Chains A and B, each alone.
Chain A
């Protein structure tokens, strides 16, 4: 089973929920940190990294001795990654989406594949927990190809927990598409509610069963609970605001380590997800 932990708004507690859930289960678990722009799960899990791989994306390499400046590659490229200035062809590799169009269309076979590094993937263990995260290279704009690579480590024999990036656009979709369940983490404030609505729309677009965790559940107002009731969104867990919880978090400590009673609550959360999937509740 693959569970993606997501939220529209940033800083609502995705990583807290993903890491603590991963460390509370008795089954074999892996955590895939897909918030590749700002991965944080490793700060709480302190995994031992066994392998590091570089992730590249294909870009065109043009042999100017063969190029006749016919402009076919410039014309097919919808991303403005190629341009001809006089008798020189320029490649803007940061704009390239690796569609391969330029290579297909070149009549002189002047274009071969080169690569641009988009980031790295680190794979390791924390005890029995399998750990994978992506780290986007600083200055790189495109995170979805790296997110897809992190997800390729998903092991069907394990429960995979994905820590998703914030927002509702392509990186989030890359971290949610095709998973079994999306756990949405929000806070009960107007910003939390507004961004939750967007996240719910995104999950419903994908047709994935989903449920809600309310973090810092005693700050703010009732707007999120009212919305959840109205939308038939199950509230699977609430985490109150406690200075002790905030301090443990700020020091990179897992909640289930500082307050072991939370382990059972996270187990319960997992059972609720399993049960609702078994019952086939129409949560999508």
Chain B
């Protein structure tokens, strides 16, 4: 199963709009929204939810005041400052390590499993979609990303899809690592600004460390030709295939307001031509067609 993940390092470069545009061009694909923290792809895909599941991960310490002997052991042992001097557990600080639970001399601490969010399998006008919503202020985003990627693979096999297109999260931390580990290739959507270049370089290094083939395209390239050139030069130096550059065009925002892809909103816009060429270049290129590189899988 080929899996292409769209990432950017910096937020707001156009990952989701491009993922949706690619989905409308791809044949026989399954969509996965791995930006579980602030998922937006559903706003363009208008999915019909077919299946809905709770996402349960980790545990939460709860002190029963009727049993608590106020010995202070839990407060002293907690490395996360999650237990106050009056023996209340701060839900947002508790990481679910269970040290307080195991060391409480009177077994006053309950440790129920947490429901941290939910995930969905849906139908869209372009094919099936697996997506999720992490609860507000929750942890375990990496585990939720791993889970929906695993489910995406299963569903893609069941529906005999030939490719998974995954909308990734911004940054380089836990959810990004979970989004790209074991993927066939990543496409980085870079923005021609000093921030965009800085962030792209860090996420390229991350993907390279994980031995995942990388491709780069530039969005809003005409906002800064000098920075666009810097991105092209960077790609050449690192022997990363440069897919093309998309001009700044309000059609992306207008399509978003309509809940459509750019191809539905204005098929004759010049950006549509460029995005189609980029997509053709992705699916015919060596990164997604070279099966010789190893596929790792771990969660």
Report which A residues bind B (CB closer than 8 A): 8-12, 15, 37-38, 40, 43-44, 76, 78-79, 97-101, 104-105, 136, 138-143, 165-173, 177, 189-191, 194-195, 198, 201-202, 205-206, 219-221, 243, 246-247, 249-252
| Contact status A191-B256, CB under 8 Å | yes
Q: B77: which A residues are within 8 A, CB to CB?
A: 100, 104
Q: Assess whether A168 is in contact with B37, with CB atoms less than 8 Å apart.
A: yes
Contact at A173–B92, with CB atoms within 8 Å?
yes
The reply on B138 being an interface residue by CB < 8 A is yes
Q: Can you name the residue of chain A whose Cβ is closest to the Cβ of B78?
A: A99
Closest chain B CB from A141 CB (angstroms):
4
Residues of chain B contacted by A99 (CB below 8 angstroms) = 79-80, 95, 97-99
Query: Which residues of A are found within 8 Å of B250, using beta-carbon distances?
Result: 219
Asked whether A177 lies within 8 Å of B253 as measured between CB atoms, the reply is no
Tell me if A169 and B138 are in contact (CB < 8 A): yes
Instruction: Contacts A167-B37, A198-B38 given; indicate if A246 touches B173 (C-beta within 8 A).
Output: no
* Pair B253/A169 contact, Cβ less than 8 Å: no
Q: Which residues of B contact A168 (CB under 8 A)?
A: 37-38, 134, 136-137
Task: Give complex CA distance A57, B54 in Å.
Answer: 32
The 5 nearest A-B residue pairs measured at CB:
A10-B11, A11-B12, A99-B97, A250-B193, A37-B171
CB < 8 Å: which of A76, A97, A166, A198 contacts B171?
A: A166
How far apart are the CA atoms of A9 and B10 in the complex, in Å?
11
Within 8 Å CB of A15, what residues of B?
Answer: 195
Inter-chain contact B256/A202, CB cutoff 8 Å: no
Distance of A152 from chain B, by nearest CB (Å): 13
Known: A9-B40, A99-B95, A173-B92. A252 touches B194 (CB 8 A): yes
- CB-CB contacts below 8 Å: B254-292 with A: 256-257, 259
Measured between alpha carbons, how far is A250 from B11 in the docked complex, in Å? 14
B37 — nearest CB in chain A belongs to which residue?
A167
CA distance A126 to B174 in the complex (A): 32
20 contacts between A and B (CB under 8 A): A9-B12, A11-B191, A38-B10, A38-B172, A43-B198, A76-B99, A78-B96, A97-B95, A101-B98, A104-B99, A138-B206, A143-B171, A167-B38, A168-B134, A170-B137, A190-B257, A191-B16, A194-B43, A202-B137, A219-B253
A169 touches which of B10, B134, B170 (Cβ 8 Å): B134
Determine the distance from Cα of A172 to Cα of B141 in the docked complex, in whole angstroms: 12
Q: Which residue of A lies closest to B97 (CB)?
A: A99
- Nearest residue (CB) in B for A79 is B97
Q: Say if the beta carbon of B159 comes within 8 Å of chain A.
A: no
A201 neighbours in B (Cβ, 8 Å): 136
B152 to chain A, nearest CB (A): 20
Closest A residue to B41 by beta carbon equals A191
- Give the contacting residue for A9; candidates B11, B134, B137; CB below 8 A: B11
Whose C-beta in chain A lies nearest to the C-beta of B258?
A190
* B47 close to A (CB within 8 Å): no
Complex Cα–Cα for A250 and B227 (A)? 8
Is residue B212 within 8 Å, beta carbon to beta carbon, of the partner chain? no
Binary interface encoding of chain B residues 117-158 relative to chain A, with 1 for a CB under 8 A from any of its CBs, else 0: 000000000000000001011110110000000000000000
Whether B172 pairs with A136 at a CB distance below 8 angstroms is yes
Checking A8, A78, A79, A97 against B38 with a beta-carbon cut-off of 8 angstroms, the contacting residue is A8
Binary A-proximity of B181-196 (CB < 8 A = 1, otherwise 0): 0000000000111111
User: B205 in the interface, Cβ–Cβ < 8 Å?
Assistant: yes
Chain B residues with CB below 8 A from A105, complex form: 102
Q: Which residue of A lies closest to B222 (CB)?
A: A243
Q: Complex: how many Å from CA A11 to CA B206?
A: 20
Residue B213 lies at the interface, judged by CB distance under 8 Å to chain A: no
Q: Which of A11, A100, A195, A221 contacts B10 (CB 8 A)?
A: A11
Q: Is the CB of B224 within 8 A of A247?
A: yes
Given contacts A11-B12, A104-B99, A166-B11, contact A141 B173 (CB under 8 A): yes
Pick from B97, B137, B138, B253: contact of A189, CB below 8 A. B253
The answer to whether B19 has its CB under 8 Å from any CB of chain A is no
Is B136 in contact with A205, judged by CB distance below 8 angstroms?
yes
Chain B residue contacts of A221, Cβ below 8 A:
257
Q: In the complex, what's the smallest C-beta–C-beta distance from B203 to chain A, in angstroms?
A: 8
> Once the chains bind, are B98 and A166 in contact (CB under 8 Å)?
no
**Cβ-defined contact, A38 with B194, below 8 A:** no
Chain B 198-245 interface residues, beta-carbon cutoff 8 Å to A: 198-199, 202, 205-206, 209-210, 223-224, 226-227
A7 to chain B: closest residue by CB: B11
Contact B257 A37 (CB under 8 A): no
| Complex Cα gap A104–B175 (Å) | 30
Judge whether B58 and A169 touch: CB under 8 Å: no
List the B side residues contacting A173 at CB < 8 Å: 92, 137
CA distance A246 to B221 in the complex (A): 12
Asked if B137 and A139 sit within 8 Å, CB to CB, the answer is no
